[in-house]
Amino acid sequence: MIDLHTHILPERWPDLCAKYGYPGWVSIEHCGACRARLWKDGRMFREIQSNCWDPAVRVADCDASGVRVQALSTVPVMFGYWAKAQDAADLAAFLNDHVAGVVQAFPDRFTGLGTVPMQDPRLAVRELERCVRELGMPGVQIGSHVNGRNLDDPAVVEVLEAAAALGACVFVHPWDMMAADRMPRHWFPWLVGMPAETALAVGSVCFGGVLERLPSLRIGFAHGGGAAPMTLGRWEHGFRERPDLCQTMTRESPRESIRRVWFDSLVHDPEALRLLLSVAGNGKVALGTDYPFPLGELSAGEVVRKAGWLDAEMRESILHGAAAAFLGERASRAVRAAGGAGDGRVPPHVDATA
Amino acid sequence: MIDLHTHILPERWPDLCAKYGYPGWVSIEHCGACRARLWKDGRMFREIQSNCWDPAVRVADCDASGVRVQALSTVPVMFGYWAKAQDAADLAAFLNDHVAGVVQAFPDRFTGLGTVPMQDPRLAVRELERCVRELGMPGVQIGSHVNGRNLDDPAVVEVLEAAAALGACVFVHPWDMMAADRMPRHWFPWLVGMPAETALAVGSVCFGGVLERLPSLRIGFAHGGGAAPMTLGRWEHGFRERPDLCQTMTRESPRESIRRVWFDSLVHDPEALRLLLSVAGNGKVALGTDYPFPLGELSAGEVVRKAGWLDAEMRESILHGAAAAFLGERASRAVRAAGGAGDGRVPPHVDATA
C-alpha cells in the first residue's frame, strides 16, 4: 500500500517567534520521550506522539499495517501563509529539507510533498522548483485557500501553472476552516468545516476553469474531496441551469472537470467510497489515512477492506496504482518498492474484515 | 407523488420597510402578468414567475409532472429572523394566513408548512401553535440557523420541543449561508454554502443531543441533508475517537441519531441518492423538488426514475410514504388524496427515463 496522506514534523525547530520577530508561529514542547505539545499564540493546538516525528516509529507502524510507502507532508498549521512571505519561505525550506532528509534515510519507505509560501507566488514557485529539482520531491501540499483566496485566484493559479509545467503533483489539504465562529462545539471545524473547505477548493478548480486550462496538472484532494462528491449533482445542475453565474470561467461541466483530479480514500464509510468512485472514476482514488492523527484511518485500508464489492483492479488502484500515477516518476524508487504490496494484501496479523 | 419541498409567496404584500419602519425587508415588483422581481436593500434578489404565487399555475404544473400534493413553504429570504421579533411575527402570520388560504382553496393538492419568528422562542411557539391548531398545518419550515445560533442552541431547542409536544413536523432549509465572503463567484453560496449549512444543521441536532432528547420530534432536512451523508463516516469516527470533544451533549452516535430524521431527495444524482438512503434508512427520504426554482428538480421525481435499482417499496416510500409519515395526520386529506399516485407512476406524457 502507498499512503498518500500522512503528516510529519521535525522533532524540534527554532523558536520561530523569536527568529522572525512576531507571534503566531507554532512551537513544540516535548513532554518526555514520546509525547509533545504544539503551541500557537499561547494556546495548546494539539498533542502529538513520536510517530509524528520519528521515522523509525513510522516505519514500524507501516510494517504493522501493511503500508509500504508514506507520502510525507507537513501539518497544515505550519503553512505560514498568514506571515511575511520571506519568513514563510524560510520555514518552508527548513521543513522541506527535513522531509527530504527523512526520505533520503528511508528511500524505499517514504516520499515527500513539500510546502511552499503560497502568499507570494514568486517565492512559492521558487521553493516548488527547489523541492522538485534539488530535493527530488514529486510535488507539494497546499492549503484549500490562501488567506481567503480560493484556488481559482490568479495568484494561486500561477503556482498551479508552475506545478503543471514542472510535472509536480499538488495535494490540497483543508486548513483555516471557514465560519469557525459558527462552529464553537463538537469539533465541527474538523467535522463540518473541513469537508466544506475541501468542497470549495474542488469547486474552485472546476468552476474557475483551472482544470480545463491546465490539463496536465496533477491535483488531488484530501478526505475524499469532502462534501464535493455528494454535491456534484447539485453543481452539475446549477452549471447547466444558470450559465450566467456558473459558466463565466469555463464551459467544461463540473462532472467532466472532476474526472481530471485525484482524491484520497479517507471517508470512513464504504458507501461514501462508492459515491466517491462513481464521481472520480477508477484510478483517481488513492489510499490516504491522515496518519498519525486520530481523525484518520487508524487501520490503513480499512474502508477498502470493508468495501467488499470492490474488484481486484479497483482495490489495487486505490491501494497503489492511483497514488503511483498521481505522484509520478519522481516518486519512482519508493513506488517501485511498493509494487509488491499493491495487490491489496494486508499482513496476516491485520484483520482484513475490520 | 407528494412534493415535500416547494416554495410559495403571496402575489403581493405591503411595503414592509414602510410598515415596520426600517430597511432590510423584501419587496415584490411585478413586471407584466407572469413575472416579478424580489428586491432587498435596493438590490434585485431574484426574478420569479407566476408559478411562485398562482395556485392554478402550480396545479397545472403538478398535473403535468405527476405531483399530487405540494407542501407549501415560504422562501427563506422571508424568514425575517434578523428583524425585530414582533415584526417578524407579524409577517409570519401574514405569510401563514396566505398559505392556509391556498391550502383551503385546494385541500387535495396542497398542504402548508408555516414560518415562525425563531429569534423569539415565545413568539415562535405562539405562531407555531396557531399554525397547527388554527390553520390546520402539519408543521413549519425553519432556517438552518437563527442569526448564527445553531439548531442545538437552547433558544432554538425550545421551539423544537414545542413542535415535538404538538406533533408538528419541522422542515429545515439552509439560508443566510456561512462564509459568503469566501464565495463571491460561481453561485457558490448556493452550491457550496447551502450543503455546508445543511450539514451543520444536521450535525447540530445529532451532536447536540437534540434528537436523543426529543425522540418524538419529526424533523427533516432539505437537499438530501447537504454534505451530511458524505460526511457521516467522518462524524462517526470523530465521535468515537474524541469523546472529549464530540460526546459532551449526547452518547448517541451520529450514525444512530441520523436515522431519526427525514431528508428530501433533492440530490440530482442517483448515486448520491444511494448514499443518502444508506445513511437515512428506508422510509426517511421524501421527494423534494424546490419547485419553482431553477436549482430544483425540474422534472419531479427525476432522480428516483434514474435510480433504476430502487425496488417498488423504496420508490413508493420516496414518492409518497416518507412524506406522509413526516407530515403526519394533519396533512391527512391531501395525503389521502395523494395515495393513488404513491406507486411511483408518472403521467404517460412524462419521460420516465429522463
Q: Is residue B352 over pLDDT 60?
A: no
Q: Which residues of A touch B226 (CB under 8 A)?
A: 227, 230-231
Subunit contact B246:A186, Cβ cutoff 8 A: yes
Q: Which of residues 284-323 of A touch B (CB under 8 A)?
A: 294-295, 298, 303
pLDDT surpasses 80 at B345: no
Condensed to tens digits (0 to 9), the pLDDT of residues B231-260 reads: 999 999 999 999 999 999 999 999 999 999
- Tell me the β-bridge partners of A38: A28, A46
Cell numbers that stand for B101 in this block:
388560504
State whether residue A208 sits within 8 Å of chain B by CB: yes
List chain B residues with CB under 8 Å of A294. 241-242
Instruction: Give me the pLDDT at residue B171, please.
Output: 98
Q: Per-residue pLDDT for B341 more than 50?
A: no
Chain A residues lying within 8 Å of B186, measured CB to CB: 203-204, 207-208, 245-246, 248-249
Instruction: Render pLDDT for B3-24 as a digit per residue (tens, 0 to 9).
Output: 999 999 999 999 999 999 999 9
pLDDT of res. A329: 87
Mean pLDDT computed over every residue of chain B:
95
A191, A253, A258, A297: best to mutate for the B interface, most B CBs within 10 A: A191
Q: How many CB atoms lie within 10 A of CB A249?
A: 17
* Per-residue pLDDT at A354: 37
Instruction: Point out the residue among A191, A242, A294 whose CB comes nearest to the CB of B203.
Output: A191
Q: What is the DSSP letter of A11?
A: S
Chain B CB contacts of A275 below 8 Å: 230, 271-272, 274-275
DSSP SS3 for A4: strand
Partner-chain contact A195 B200, CB within 8 Å: no
- Return the biggest CA–CA distance within chain A: 59
Per-residue pLDDT of chain A (354 residues), as tens digits, is 999 999 999 999 999 999 999 999 999 999 998 999 999 999 999 999 999 999 999 999 999 999 999 999 999 999 999 999 999 999 999 999 999 999 999 999 999 999 999 999 999 999 999 999 999 999 999 999 999 999 999 999 999 999 999 999 999 999 999 999 999 999 999 999 999 999 999 999 999 999 999 999 999 999 999 999 999 999 999 999 999 999 999 999 999 999 999 999 999 999 999 999 999 998 999 999 999 999 999 999 999 999 999 999 999 999 999 999 999 988 878 887 776 444 444 444 544 443
Q: Which of A44, A192, A273, A299 to mutate to test the interface with B (most CBs of B within 10 A)?
A: A192
CA distance A106 to A112: 11
| pLDDT in the model for residue B336 | 76
Tracing cell 404517460 back to the chain, one arrives at: B348
Q: Which of B65, B67, B25, B59 is nearest to B42 (CA)?
A: B25
C-alpha B256, offset from chain centre: 22
Nearest CA among A4, A131, A135 for reference residue A70: A4
What is the predicted pLDDT for the residue at A342? 43
Residue B210: pLDDT above 70? yes
Residue of A178, A234, A295 to mutate, interface with B, max B Cβ within 10 Å: A234
3-state secondary structure of B89: helix
User: Which residues of chain A from 90 to 149 reach within 8 Å of chain B, CB to CB?
Assistant: 145, 148
Contacts of B148 in chain A (CB under 8 A): 181-182
ipTM above 0.85, yes or no: yes
Q: Which residues on chain A are in Cβ contact (under 8 Å) with B227? A: 192, 195-196, 199, 226-227, 230-231
Helix (H), strand (E) at residue A243: helix A243-246
Helices (H), chain B: 16-20, 55-65, 85-105, 121-129, 154-166, 188, 194-207, 210-213, 228-241, 243-246, 254-257, 270-280, 302-306, 312-316, 322-327, 332-338
End-to-end CA distance of chain B: 17
Which is nearest to A112 in space by CA: A130, A88, A124? A130
Secondary structure of residue A139 in the 3-state scheme? strand
Asked whether A167 and A1 are in contact (CB, 8 A), the reply is: no
Best probe of the B interface among A144, A205, A230, by most B CBs < 10 A, is A230
Distance from C-alpha of B70 to C-alpha of B138, rounded to nearest angstrom: 13
pLDDT in tens, B83-142: 999 999 999 999 999 999 999 999 999 999 999 999 999 999 999 999 999 999 999 999
pLDDT band at B178 (very low <50, low <70, confident <90, very high): very high
**Closest CA relative to residue B71, chosen from B169, B157, B215:** B169
Q: Are B25 and B40 in contact (CB under 8 A)?
A: yes
* A181 contact partners, CB below 8 Å, separation of at least 6: B148
